[in-house]
Structure 1
Amino acid sequence: MPLRRSEDASGGAECEARGVRSFTSLPRPRRVPRPRPAQRPLRVLLTTDWWEPVVNGVVASVQTLRRALVALGCEVRVLTLAQGIRPQQEEGVYRIGSVSAAMVYDRARIGMPASRRVLRDVLDWRPDVVHSQCEFSTYVWARRIARTLSIPLVHTYHTIYEDYTHYYSPSRTVGRKVVASFSRHVLAPADAVIVPTQKVSRLLEEYRVRRPVRVIPTGLDLERFRPARTPAERDDVRSLRASLGIAAGQRVLLSVSRLAKEKNLDEVLELIAASDREDTVLVLVGDGPHRGPLEQRARALGISDRVRFTGVVEPAEIQRWYRIGDVFVGASLSETQGLTFIEAMACGLPLLCRRDPSLADVVVEGRTGWQFESAAQFAACLDALLDDPALHAGMVRAALAHAGATCGATEFGRGVLEVYRQAQGGRPPRLLPRLAVPA
């Protein structure tokens, strides 16, 4: 759907307000009919503010999508932010210079004006679709590139921002109104919006977002996320447990998460303390600004000897840490899809998490795990899992089967590819600009 003039003007103003040079400084392109290349693979530009070395759900989702689209025959490149002010380029990845925004959100960055070389390379490559994954710095470029090339703009809405109001607003009610207005404005230019769960789809409906919305759960590489199979992998599990000082008879309750307030890990500590099982160790995989308060809370609850903090884990190594667990636990209500819960399930871990609509398709009650609503329910479910080996083994099998049937990366890629095709089909015949980008 072409942008209205008013949207174009506001986009340019927003671009300048964010400290990003507007594309209006470039010569106006002359549009000419595009010859359709024969048998050329679909070219997809993925844009994201988050990328390696950061570890979070957005990065994991975009990496999985990139691999899935390539496996389906697409050419894929990524436009993201560098970890410094100098733009960089590597195989298939453009990095725009950026500055730290850690005062607003840990490890966040704000993009600086993109170099003309990066811009020229992207436009010369001529993607067929731009698929944005974040709503801030790189979204400005996604929107402008799509408009300049007259190609579809697809956007994945990953984050429930109203769960992060404590970062920017003392009032959750005011924060929700701000988020609703922001979401309507940001998503207005998109030809299609992808969300990972029905929970997020309903939320955008409540925000009065009027763009086409498609629910597509994020897939996983099931060859990577799986239980230990080989003797070497089983030895690795024992080695990791030993490195954390976990005895052979202890059971590992695992959580993989950024250590931030919105992840509600304080409640997990309280639940572990209340369950009073000396045979358990809670392993918190990840790091973040809330680590200090969590360590203090564990000491105050008298369970610091049964809690382990791993710190930052390399993204390529994360599956190793899932394999040391016996049960995956969590109390976050800020999830859009519960990607770590899906990864844990694919690695054969039963799930024990606070009830949340985003997990309705992941936690099959009594089969792949349970959703609890109170400390008493948590303790009862944990006792059942740890004291009944047959029940635990059955849940492990059910978790693996459910992951295999619903969480494959190939189906994820095919679903997204279909959205691209629908977005292309819903646009007027393409006219390709003859671009002149100064050196």
Structure 2
Amino acid sequence: MRKRHAERTTGSGRPLRVLLTTDWWEPVVNGVVASVATLRRELIALGCDVRVLTLASGLRTRNEDGVYRIGSVSAGMVYDRARIGMPASKRVLREILRWHPDVIHSHCEFSSHMWARKIARALDVPIVHTYHTIYEDYTHYYSPSRTVGRKVVATFSRRVLDGTDAVVVPTEKVARLLAGYGVTRPQYVIPTGLDLDRFRPARTEAELRDAAELRAGLGIRSDQRVLLSVARLAKEKNLDEVIDLVAGAGREDSVLVLVGDGPYREELVAHAAARGVSDRVVFAGVVDPAEVQRWYRIGDLFVSASLSETQGLTFIEAMACGLPLLCRRDPSLARVVVDGRTGWQYDGAADFAAHLDQMLGDDLLRAAMSHEGVAHVHATFGSRAFGSSVLSVYRSAIERRSPLRVLALEPLAA
């Protein structure tokens, strides 16, 4: 592991102990898992002692390599692949209490958050929470009325976050949303960082050959342009609109490749057939999270119509891999898509088609946007700055709770 800052220690000379809690963990692929995994890696590199408390895929509770997996049951009737934790194992809780984390960082609002609060109360340590999901964009799962659903979300979010010491949000859009809900806890806008050693354009002959082989394996000709989307195939991702836009743009030389799977796949297959573009919409399915960068490299552009993003982590991953972006306009993308430089945000079908023609018709422009996008990611979304920024939040939370204790944590200020 690369050497970075001096070890982050407490007054006793031991590393700062951080417990990360999340309902989602590997091998599940989503933005929460990517963010927590990146944070864990960066905190460890900064010298912290980090453990994870999450849900097991079954009833058996276990601890492997600092990851506690609490037994759980399926909640797939509510949300695909979601799970509900069983009463936490007393043995695991005793072990965590003996370990005595200095700060708890919660990343989900349900099962694991309840355990986070219980542990924080027992040890009188601060709890930081990252608000990853804009739940009002998911009202179709639990409420027939968006207005009622938003009120439910506002009340729920306020009650969860009022019990925390600090809230981390990935964008100003989410900060404004929470302020509108009446959340008063201190908020910190910190975009999730990216492992830029992994997410990068193809550099070697082997990587270029690999991308060509992946395209060929999907039945894509070498003269076709690939419009790529990496997303869970769920209603809130608005992939129906992407298919409509591709169909309406009339670019017969382009193929839409959807990487991912989910409960809305059958509807999307039927929608592509109804629009007469089944031959130009390819469903690649789920890919290994450790290999997803290979799939970004098959694309010429990254496209999305989603309005449910808190940050758009897949957009940033795509840009880091050299893909210009063509995405529906959304405040969450303000720091991601720099219009005319890293891609475009479109405002309607005609706007989408015009930008698509411009980008696919000018290889030099697309290459310049690719280069600009990679540079923008390196300047704005590096994982090292992400880890350091979150560490500063921990220090502030500890200081507010116990001003005397922070004197024993001065290395955190470095």
Shorter chain as normaliser: what TM range?
Answer: over 0.9
Structure-to-structure mapping, 1:34-433, within 5 angstroms: 37-428=11-402, 429=404
Instruction: Give the match's secondary structure for 2:19.
Output: strand
- TM-score scaled by structure 1? 0.89
Q: CA deviation at 1:314?
A: 1.1
**What amino acid is aligned across from residue 216 of structure 1 in structure 2?**
I
Q: CA deviation at 1:415?
A: 0.6
Rounded to whole Å, the distance in 2 between the matches of 1:114 and 1:175 is 30
**What amino acid is aligned across from residue 226 of structure 1 in structure 2?**
R
Rounded to whole Å, the distance in 1 between the matches of 2:213 and 2:61 is 40
Instruction: Give the match's secondary structure for 2:176.
Output: helix
User: CA-to-partner distance for each residue in 1:224-278, whole Å, 9 max, x for gaps?
Assistant: 0001111211111011111101101111000000000000000000000001111
- Higher Cα radius of gyration: 1
- TM-score scaled by structure 2? 0.94
Instruction: Give the match's secondary structure for 1:337.
Output: coil
Q: Point out which structure has higher relative CO (alpha carbons under 8 A, 6+ apart).
A: 1
Q: CA deviation at 1:386?
A: 0.7
Q: CA deviation at 1:37?
A: 4.4
Gaps of 5+ in 1: 1-35, 431-439
Rounded to whole Å, the distance in 2 between the matches of 1:318 and 1:389 is 25
Rounded to whole Å, the distance in 1 between the matches of 2:271 and 2:328 is 20
Rounded to whole Å, the distance in 1 between the matches of 2:204 and 2:92 is 44
**What amino acid is aligned across from residue 19 of structure 2 in structure 1?**
L
User: CA-to-partner distance for each residue in 1:373-395, whole Å, 9 max, x for gaps?
Assistant: 11011010011011111111110
User: CA-to-partner distance for each residue in 1:332-356, whole Å, 9 max, x for gaps?
Assistant: 0011001110111111100000000
- Percent identity of equivalent pairs: 72
Q: CA deviation at 1:38?
A: 3.1
**What amino acid is aligned across from residue 239 of structure 1 in structure 2?**
E
Rounded to whole Å, the distance in 2 between the matches of 1:276 and 1:68 is 45
Rounded to whole Å, the distance in 2 between the matches of 1:145 and 1:327 is 45
Rounded to whole Å, the distance in 1 between the matches of 2:117 and 2:288 is 32
Instruction: Give the match's secondary structure for 1:139.
Output: helix
Gaps of 5+ in 2: 1-9, 406-414
**What amino acid is aligned across from residue 396 of structure 1 in structure 2?**
S
**What amino acid is aligned across from residue 62 of structure 2 in structure 1?**
Q
Runs of 4+ that moved beyond 3 A: none
Q: CA deviation at 1:319?
A: 0.6
Aligned-residue Cα RMSD (Å) equals 1.2
Q: CA deviation at 1:39?
A: 2.4
Q: CA deviation at 1:120?
A: 1.5
Instruction: Give the match's secondary structure for 1:426.
Output: helix
Instruction: Give the match's secondary structure for 2:401.
Output: coil
